Structure 1
Amino acid sequence: KGDGLTDCGNYVRLLQSFNKTHIYVCGTGAYYPQCTYIDLGHSTEEPLFHLKYHAVESGRGRCPFSPQESFTARLTDGDLYAGTSVDFMGANAAIFRSSVHSSSQHYIRTEAYQDHWLNEPEFVGSFSIPDTHSVDDDKVYFFFKETAVESSQWDRRVYSRVARVCKNDIGGKRSLINRWSTFLKARLVCSVSGPGGIDTQFDELEDIFMLETKDSQNPIIYGVFSTSSSVFRGSAVCVYSMASIRAAFNGPFAHKEGPDHRWVEFKGRIPYPRPGTCPSETYDPLHKSTRDFPDDLVSFMRGHQLMWDPILPATRQPVFMQVNVPHILRKVVVDRVDAEDGQYDVLHLGTDNGKVLKVVSVPKDNTETEEIILEELTVFQKMTGGCWPLIIVVYVCQQQQLYVSSEEGVVQLSLQRCHLYGKGCVDCCLARDPYCAWDGLTCSRYFPTNKRRARRQDVKHGDPMSQCHDAGDGFESLEAKLVYGVESNATFLECLPRFQQAPVQWTVQPSQAHTSKVMEKPYLYVLYIFDINLNTILQINKTRVRGGNGGAIGHTQSHTQLNRNYKDLHMMGMASVSVDEYCEQMWYREKKKQQKLRQLKWKQTQTDNRKARVHIQYQLYTNII
């Protein structure tokens, strides 16, 4: 079935911790999935990594056949919950549970080839989350996207979903045998309100991340979404609370009378116990297991898996969004950071063109948030053939490291690089990086502590006037950089702030002194001062006559000047170069440049982190921003 020899390898799709010394691993096995254990031994510093060949077993229902198919799995309490296809062609997708720690072959799954259960799903993630303090209420949540059954056959839409099942679900007695009897699903919505009440929908779930909190029953769910629209290209990150997810599952059910009817809210009688409730002898002695459920409840569950109310983001809008950019967000990892003025969730986002973005969402006084891109790192380049590698981002909390992997390899990134902001208090404060603070000497890693120390940090406002005692505009301490220019010609001035979120403002003084200012509300300070010595064509021609004593320039002198580059001419102040010689030299340099480009056109000569340059026409005497 594979398109080539590469598909017929054994691709490892599952690595789950089984206990302190063993890892449960599954691979595609050349379209014959198999699973076994890896023995790590008792030494954490030098693990064994010994593969248990005698424990190899079939991976059907635990691992996909193809390395290209979407897949998710979660090993909890000795059972493996997997969202995968269970056939060679990948047409029969299901949510499976199978026992790992015992030789029992008992399994439970969703109904096969039933669109209202699962309709061409692409699984993204799964988590085990307790609902209450009783273990009988523990559930496993699956996140995926599928072709919406609510849409018509002429308008096939993709919706993002979250589904849940009870861990103690063992199926029905006379109906739904070896099938989930507590399976429910609801729609995840990530949208932006538009004019006229029309929302821009980010329908396709790309990745999901569960941020654990002190309350194990209420983690925070972060999702990365993309749009299926043909009008624009974009991505968004939305955050959800478990309270809103549980509210949707406790709300009304969706109902459809027949194939010619529309989906509506179910208004009829709901059986007892409520569909989707986990059986518990503590709550009801008559329902010790799902096999004790009454027939009307099981019959109801066969056709009412979909909930009517969608699940909206906790902030009612995305916490981060990018539209019409040359990449799509694919992966997300979230780290909750303690800062001087509160806690912030830092998003580490992987893109489809080999980049990792570090983003923080700062809440304002109202319900809105401010999105700040702290860093944008190019981790991987294009592979042979012009394709970008698939990025997988993993966060290791104990080591405070971020691991980014692809087909090219694995890259380890530190969560903070405070030294890039310099040693000044102003730059460190304006960076608004929750990981970093000014400690009195330099910008360094911030550590929460009760000890009083000279540290300055303001993530919410980024106001150095309230944090730094030397937060002037920087004008007095800067020396003007002398730059030479020629009338009706152009040059480049560079202004490089240490942080991305601060806009750069250029001003022109009547004395032709150009200042480059970094403006971060409510603070503005001068970064560079350029003193421009402007020469007119008439001045250059007079200099040429004086330098040549009325005669022509010699061959040797002309040849030497032609080999000077533009920077040398600036340093010399254009003292002995005519306009004709200047133009001839520019033509010569351009010719050599074109020859080099033809010879080295196969190389990548531009980088994504090219320094920003400002192009100024000196014949204009207006402010340039």
Structure 2
Amino acid sequence: MNSKDPKNPIVYGVFTTSSNIFKGSAVCMYSMSDVRRVFLGPYAHRDGPNYQWVPYQGRVPYPRPGTCPSKTFGGFDSTKDLPDDVITFARSHPAMYNPVFPINNRPIMIKTDVNYQFTQIVVDRVDAEDGQYDVMFIGTDVGTVLKVVSIPKETWHDLEEVLLEEMTVFREPTTISAMELSTKQQQLYVGSTAGVAQLPLHRCDIYGKACAECCLARDPYCAWDGSSCSRYFPTAKRRTRRQDIRNGDPLTHCSDLQHHDNHHVHSLEERIIYGVENSSTFLECSPKSQRALVYWQFQRRNEERKEEIRVDDHIIRTEQGLLLRSLQRKDSGNYLCHAVEHGFMQTLLKVTLEVIDTEHLEELLHKDDDGDGSKTKEMSNSMTPSQKVWYRDFMQLINHPNLNTMDEFCEQVWKRDRKQRRQRPGHTQGNSNKWKHLQENKKGRNRRTHEFERAPRSV
């Protein structure tokens, strides 16, 4: 990448560990002036009884090994014309003694404890509202591409890496062996043994439909244009354009648009979940931003006060949401999922949990046995045979909270169905022509599954 000094560009490189025990990858950034300084320094030489690496102190032949052949250094047009002593010295001294340290003497990005390693990298320099930023596209050995931006903290020498996206390019895990960037087409071309894929450099619409979400994304390609998160153009002059890559502060840039964001009612998702007493349920909530912290609140019925949910043996917090074990009636209420990032809190989800006690559930299940379940009988008679089976299995599941896992329930249903098939082999064979006729009639039909036929979710 070009820098302010045309003679000293910036070099990006990816590195991986060779150990199978400790796996990790890193991205380092080097200055060409530092690389040139090392190549003009001493050569590495093995000397002493232990053959340790020491700087070479002897005579260096002319022209100096490592310099490009030119009329300035000896008048040679090609390395084939170099003297024998230069070739011999280069073969016996293939390395330099001093290492080339990266800028700031540390990597700009490190990844450990992950199931992939870096293989390729391309970098695009993007103009943003508050300066220029280098966006890195890093290929891995599992067929994914990481989109990362380097952002300076207090000074330009102290960089912060922000992971914008992690894109799965190929269906099957495969090593990405080549990457090319087209700034003119705004496309990224990725190659592997499975083929070549084409990806856009920016997908601003995935960051949300509010000014705060677009600002928190900190993507140099994107900005809030007053109505949506769209591509940022440095030449466009619009007062409603909002972007803050360096700080990602929506409180400053989107405070006057808060009223506009509140009209996006669909941004706050609401759900109603029913749970059975003494059983478990899961409240799923995942923020769009990978840097956001999830904050849960609980609001009881007919109360305005909200309290923070604390993790214990009863409530377990995961990356995907909350797991509530051994539900009690006091767990009924509203659960609010908030995303907190850079001091900005946004409500993502509101879950209303209704806990049904076991006694009331038993009454509902056996209501038809007492003679008061006429409506239940009518509903049962109106169901198709497949719906009745699913309804019975579903009610059996929620009525038996002592089942430890879903696998036990599925195994019971599988054994029962297998037993029924063994008991009527002749009946199935006798009706083979009938089923064949039905299958032929269904071939021309639309294969869409109707909502009322879906089970068990329709229950």
In structure 2, runs of 5+ residues without a counterpart are 302-332, 418-459
Paired position in structure 2 for 1:120: none
Note closer, same or farther for the CA distance 1:547–1:317 as it changes in structure 2 (3 Å cut): farther
Q: Aligned AA for 1:482?
A: I
Structure 1 Cα separation of the partners of residues 13 and 42 of structure 2: 24
Aligned to 1:394: 180
Is 1:524–2:345 an aligned residue pair? yes
What amino acid sits opposite 2:203 in the alignment?
Answer: R
CA 1:302–1:371: 2 relative to 1, 3 Å: closer
Aligned residue among 63, 76, 84 for 1:289 = 76
Q: Is the 8 A contact 2:335 2:350 kept in 1?
A: yes
Query: Which of residues 341, 346, 361 is equivalent to 2:130?
Result: 341
Contact kept? 1:544, 1:578, Cα under 8 Å: no
Secondary structure of residue in 1 paired with 2:291: coil
Contact 1:212 1:219 in 2 (8 A): yes
Question: Aligned pair count?
Answer: 370
Structure 1 residue 299 displacement after superposition: 6.7
In the alignment, is the contact (CA less than 8 A) between 1:430 and 1:463 conserved in 2? yes
Are positions 1:579 and 2:399 aligned together?
A: yes
> Aligned letter for 2:355?
L
Cα pair distance change 1:261/1:578, threshold 3 Å: closer
Instruction: Say if 1:540 and 1:578, in contact at 8 Å, map to a contact too.
Output: no
Distance 1:486 1:454, change over 3 A: same
Higher helix share: 2
One-letter amino acid of the counterpart of residue 470, structure 1: L
User: What's 1:326 paired with?
Assistant: 115
Shift of 1:504: 2.4
Tell me: CA distance 1:581–1:235, structure 2 relative to 1, closer, same or farther (3 Å). Answer: closer
- If the length of structure 2 is used for normalisation, what is the TM-score? 0.69
In the alignment, is the contact (CA less than 8 A) between 2:16 and 2:118 conserved in 1?
yes
**Is 2:283 the partner of 1:493?**
yes
CA distance in 2 between counterparts of 1:318 and 1:454 reads 37
Of residues 425-434 and 550-559 in structure 1, the stretch that sits farther from structure 2 once superposed is 550-559
Specify the alignment match of 2:93 in structure 1: 304
Alpha carbons 2:269, 2:348 under 8 Å: kept: no
CA 1:348/1:591 → structure 2, altered by over 3 Å: closer, same or farther? farther
Alignment of 1:125-204 (within 5 A): none
Match of 1:251 in 2: 41
Deviations 1:400-455 (A, max 9, x none): 11011223322111100111123211111111111100001110001112634311
1:427 to 206, 213, 228: 213
Provide the residue aligned with 1:355 in structure 2.
Answer: 144
Structure 1 position 444 matched with structure 2 position 265: no
1:185 paired residue number:
none
Provide structure 1 residue ranges, at least 5 long, that are not aligned to the other structure.
Answer: 1-210, 597-625
CA distance in 1, matches of 2:346, 2:283: 18
Which among 241, 249, 273 is matched to residue 463 of structure 1?
A: 249
Would the alpha carbon gap of residues 537 and 248 (structure 1) be closer, same or farther in structure 2, given more than 3 Å must change? Answer: same
Once the two structures are superposed, residues 551-585 of structure 1 have per-residue CA deviations (whole angstroms, 9 ceiling, x without a partner) of: 8986984986652399x98xxxx9xx9836998xx
Choose from 536, 542, 551 the match for 2:357. Answer: 536
Closer, same or farther in 2 for the Cα pair 1:262/1:455, shift >3 Å?
A: same
The one-letter code sitting in structure 2 at the alignment partner of 1:579 is N
SS in 2 for 1:437: strand
Residue of structure 1 in register with 2:428 after alignment: none
Match of 1:564 in 2: 391
Give the Cα–Cα distance (whole angstroms) in 2 for the partners of residues 325 and 372 of structure 1: 17
Q: CA deviation at 1:215?
A: 4.7
Aligned counterpart, 1:156: none
**Structure 2 partner of 1:28:** none
3-state SS of 1:243 partner: helix
Contact 2:278/2:401 (8 A) holds in 1: no
Is residue 2:24 matched to residue 1:234? yes
Task: Determine if contact 2:42/2:98 at 8 Å carries over to the other structure.
Answer: yes
Q: 1:595 to 1:562 in 2, by over 3 A?
A: closer
Q: Residue type of the partner of 1:432?
A: R
Closer/same/farther in 2, CA of residues 462 and 270 from structure 1, 3 Å limit: same
Task: Give the aligned partner of residue 376 of structure 1.
Answer: 166
Which residue does 2:424 correspond to in 1? none
Shift of 1:241: 0.8
Partner of residue 315, structure 1: 104
1:12 aligns with: none
Contact 2:339/2:345 (8 A) holds in 1:
yes
Distance 1:428 1:314, change over 3 A: same
| Secondary structure in 1 matching 2:212 | helix
2:139 touches 2:176 (CA, 8 Å); kept in 1?
no
Q: Secondary structure, in 3 states, of the residue corresponding to 1:506? A: strand
**CA deviation digits over 1:145-203, x for unaligned, max 9?**
xxxxxxxxxxxxxxxxxxxxxxxxxxxxxxxxxxxxxxxxxxxxxxxxxxxxxxxxxxx
- Greater relative contact order (CA < 8 Å, ≥ 6 in sequence): 2
Change (3 A) 1:591 1:317: farther
Q: 2:133 and 2:411 mapped to 1: Cα distance?
A: 51
Task: Tell me the secondary structure at the aligned position of residue 127 of structure 2.
Answer: strand
State the one-letter code of the partner of 1:451. K
- State the shift of 1:550 in Å: 6.6
Instruction: Report the CA distance between 1:318 and its aligned residue.
Output: 1.5
Greater Cα offset, 344-353 or 465-474: 465-474
1:244, CA displacement in angstroms? 0.9
Per mean C-alpha deviation after superposition, the further-off stretch among 482-491 and 256-265 is 256-265
Contact kept? 2:17, 2:25, Cα under 8 Å: yes
1:565 and 1:440, CA in 2 relative to 1: closer, same or farther beyond 3 A?
farther
SS at match of 1:309: coil
Task: Please tell me whether residue 410 in structure 1 is matched to residue 196 in structure 2.
Answer: yes
Identity, % of aligned positions: 44
Shift of 1:321: 1.6
Give the equivalent residue in structure 2 for 1:220. 10
Kindly state the Cα deviation for residue 496 of structure 1 after the two structures are TM-superposed: 3.8
Deviations 1:459-495 (A, max 9, x none): 1221110111234897996575332222222223232
Q: Quick one: structure 1 residues 230 and 519, their matched pair in 2 at CA, closer, same or farther if it must change by over 3 Å? A: same
